């Protein structure tokens, strides 16, 4: 029997990362580039802050114009891989989380993510590319949390859209999967920790320490942990995987 290992090499691939200036997005872009991909990135800022070469555009995906510009760019870019990573976070129980918060979180985390996914899929079908679409979910998408009502709902929606898109695109051999991070030590955790300090009357830094200690492996994950999973889903290593949500959470969610 001949052994033919599937490559993780991404040479010749065009990989597009949204939310690229966050810890997870920047790390994913760097990993894609290190494996030979041509990397395209977007975030609110006009410059890419990661440590690799990329073609970058500053786009606000919450605005109609920013989203239209992104969709047009995808059509021109003709990507092979999308890491649909852009997202925002806020807190508030169902007694406190108002519709303005709902509109912001669903506007970025669901509406923009869906538009990016759809545009990528349309490009891949048109170009005949058997591409890979990777959506960023969260452990928050697997169960509700008392203080994170809207955010949890957005990530549950991402998991559902991933499944539906994967089934719709399977005839074109386009794979759609999601990554569900647990508690990952990114710059965003400074803001998350401050919100928990406000809502749970904790000291600054206390929540971050607690969630790390509660992980079965005993510590918070790193952006690189998520990026390595993105590389797996982008490459031929995962060519028979679609419609799945892969948890990268140190054992927090058992399914």
Please spell the DSSP secondary structure of 181-206, one letter per residue: E-SB--THHHHHHHHHHHHHT--TTH
Report how far residue 174's alpha carbon sits from residue 107's, in angstroms, rounded to the nearest whole number.
25
Q: Is 14 helix (H, G, I), strand (E, B) or coil?
A: strand
Degrees to nearest 5, angle at CA 92 with 198 and 201: 20
Q: What letters, b where the CB count within 10 A reaches 16 and e where it falls short, cover 209-223?
A: eebbeebeeeebbbb
Catalytic-residue membership of 151: yes
Tokens of 44: 């609110």
Report how far residue 230's alpha carbon sits from residue 42's, in angstroms, rounded to the nearest whole number.
17
Q: Is 2 helix (H, G, I), strand (E, B) or coil?
A: coil
Catalytic residue among 102, 114, 151, 172: 151
Catalytic center residues: 151
């Amino acid at each position: 029997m001949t052994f033919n290992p599937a490559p993780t090499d991404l040479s010749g691939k065009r990989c597009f990362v949204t939310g690229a200036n966050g810890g997870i997005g920047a790390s994913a872009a760097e990993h894609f580039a290190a494996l030979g991909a041509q990397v395209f990135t977007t975030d609110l800022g006009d410059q890419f802050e990661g440590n690799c070469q990329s073609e970058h555009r500053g786009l606000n995906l919450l605005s109609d114009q920013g989203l239209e510009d992104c969709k047009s760019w995808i059509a021109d870019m003709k990507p092979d891989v999308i890491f649909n990573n852009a997202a925002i976070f806020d807190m508030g129980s169902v007694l406190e989380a108002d519709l303005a918060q709902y509109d912001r979180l669903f506007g970025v985390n669901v509406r923009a993510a869906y538009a990016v996914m759809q545009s990528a899929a349309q490009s891949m079908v048109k170009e005949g590319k058997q591409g890979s679409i990777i959506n960023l979910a969260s452990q928050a998408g697997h169960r509700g949390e008392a203080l994170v009502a809207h955010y949890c709902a957005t990530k549950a929606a991402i998991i559902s859209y991933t499944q539906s898109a994967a089934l719709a695109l399977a005839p074109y051999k386009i794979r759609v999967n999601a990554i569900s991070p647990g508690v990952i030590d990114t710059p965003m955790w400074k803001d998350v920790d401050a919100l928990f300090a406000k809502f749970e009357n904790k000291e600054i830094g206390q929540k971050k320490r607690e969630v790390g200690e509660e992980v079965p492996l005993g510590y918070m994950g790193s952006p690189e942990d998520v990026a390595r999973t993105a590389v797996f889903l982008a490459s031929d290593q995962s060519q028979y995987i679609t419609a799945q949500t892969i948890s990268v959470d140190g054992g927090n969610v058992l399914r």
